[in-house]
Amino acid sequence: MLNISKTTLHSTVDLSNFQAIAKVMHKKHFKHFNRFLVAFCFIGAIILFLPWTQNITGKGALTTLRPDQRPATVQSPIPGRIEEWFVSEGDSVTKGDPILRISEVKNEYQDPNLLDRTKLQIQAKASSVEAYKGKIDALGQQILSLQKEQGLKLQQAQNKLLQSKLKVQSDSIDLEAAKTNITIAGRQYDRTLQLQEEGLKAVKDVEDKRLKQQETKAKLVSQENKLLESKNNVLNAEIEINRIQASFTEKINKARSEQLTASSNGFDAEAQVTKLENTLSNYEIRNDLYIIRAPQTGLINKAIQAGIGETFKSGDKLINIMPSNPELAVEMYIEPIDLPLAHLGEEVRIVFDGWPSIIFSGWPNVSTGTYAGRIVAVETFISDNGKYRLLIAPDLEQNPWPEALRAGSGARSIALLDDVPIWFELWRQLNGFPPNYYQPDTIKTIKK
């Protein structure tokens, strides 16, 4: 009944006689409620001063601690066509096991006798190199022979020059003798002519002396001619020496030029042999690439290129392999504001997907189903999701992680920071302040 009218009901009617009114209007329940409020406030005040562990929470996933233990895709460095598979998805392989066989798709490598033909080219070029070496040796012998012949010819010409010089000296002496004879003959003729005029000699004696004088003059002219001829022979011998030197120098230079040409051709042939050997090595390596092998021990996860006869380009992904027995770790992503609070070696509690847990983030000691870890890497460059990445490894001093964990499964991480009262944490959360900035003792010690 509503009190709409100005006449109050309890002033005209005694409501205490009604049983319902008697149960509602007594004040006994106010006493219990007040006691409850006092107890609640007292307990709440005590709770506000309980210790609370500040923390940074983040979501991540399981990965491997070492990069070489993470799932990897096998690629082919050359283009090709799939011919045969040796494994199936889920098979276990060891490092070096064949996975599939491919064939060539480029025209320049499709010759089945490519290696043999390249070897024949190498042999031919190697023979050419040997031929050039033989020609170089032969020209070297020819040069030595020419030098030896030049020495002998020069020695012969020098001997002839010496003979000519000696002949000049001999003719010069004979010329002087002839001059002396002509002088003597002239004196004898003059004395005989004087004696003939005095009547002491006959005319015949005068004529004999005149004849002898004429003969002596003729010998003088002949001796002068011989001397000139001997001098001419000297000049001819000197010219012959110069001719021999010029002739053999030309021959030797020509032989040396041919030798240098052969040497240059030999070097060019050796370069071609080296190039062909390099090409042969590339062909052999390329032939080895026709069998795609497992780069590491692991399990075949998925065949990306599946069909027989399917072609692919160089660098295309062919198959995915998960390494065996990886060292697991957790990737944790935190906000940039929390990055200065993460340090190497700090303890982290982890909750894995699929493992039940009861979490009290501020009271890690009473949480159950969590596993311990330590920060082993802090990324210094922001990720694509706008957060920084931490890498968390298992804490070997505490309970080991479950053996059934697999890389890629989800995880939630709680990085433990400083211990503060609950009232401080509530005040911080209400004001939106970051956790207390502090540094571990190890960093403080290093700075000191």
Lowest-confidence segment of 107-111, 227-231, 258-262, 419-423 by average pLDDT: 419-423
**Residue 120 or residue 27, greater confidence:** 120
CATH superfamily name and code, 54-68+326-447: Efflux pump adaptor protein, beta barrel domain (2.40.30.170)
Residue range 132-143: mean pLDDT, rounded: 89
What confidence tens digit (pLDDT) does each residue in 291-339 have? 888 888 888 888 888 778 888 888 888 888 888 778 888 888 888 877 7
* Low-confidence winner among 111-125, 126-140, 177-191, 413-427 (lowest mean pLDDT): 413-427
Residue 362 confidence (pLDDT) above 60: no
| pLDDT over 80 (residue 340) | no
Going by CATH, does the domain composed of 72-104+290-323 fall within 2.40.50.100? yes
Instruction: Assess whether pLDDT exceeds 70 at residue 369.
Output: no
pLDDT band at residue 278 under the 50/70/90 scheme: very high
Q: pLDDT tens for residues 166-191?
A: 887 887 887 788 778 778 877 777 77
How confident is the model over 234-252, as a mean pLDDT? 88
Tell me the average pLDDT across 385-405. 83
Mean pLDDT of all residues belonging to the chain: 79
pLDDT at 108 over 80: yes
CATH code: domain 114-288 is 1.10.287.620
pLDDT band at 443 (very low <50, low <70, confident <90, very high): very low
Q: What percent of the chain has pLDDT over 70?
A: 81
Structure confidence at residue 114 (pLDDT): 86
The amino acid sitting at 93 is V
HEC string of the chain? CCCCCCCCHHHHCCHHHCHHHHHHHCCHHHHHHHHHHHHHHHHHHHHHCCEEEEEEEEEEEEEECCHHHCCEEEECCCCEEEEEECCCCCCEECCCCEEEEEECCCHHHCCCCHHHHHHHHHHHHHHHHHHHHHHHHHHHHHHHHHHHHHHHHHHHHHHHHHHHHHHHHHHHHHHHHHHHHHHHHHHHHHHHHHHHHHCCCCHHHHHHHHHHHHHHHHHHHHHHHHHHHHHHHHHHHHHHHHHHHHHHHHHHHHHHHHHHHHHHHHHHHHHHHHHHHHHHHHHHHHHHCCEEECCCCEEEEEECCCCCCCEECCCCEEEEEEECCCCEEEEEEECHHHHHHCCCCCEEEEEECCCCCECCCCCHHHCECCEEEEEEEECCCCCCCCCEEEEEEECCCCCCCCCCCCCCCEEEEEEEEEEEEHHHHHHHHHHCCCCCCCCCHHHHHHHC
Termini Cα distance of the chain: 81
pTM: 0.56
Report the alpha-carbon distance of residue 203 to residue 196 in Å, rounded: 6
| Domain locations in the chain as residue ranges | 54-68+326-447, 72-104+290-323, 114-288
The sign one gets for the Cα dihedral 162, 164, 168, 170 is positive
Q: Which residue has the higher pLDDT, 128 or 414?
A: 128
User: What pLDDT does residue 30 have?
Assistant: 63
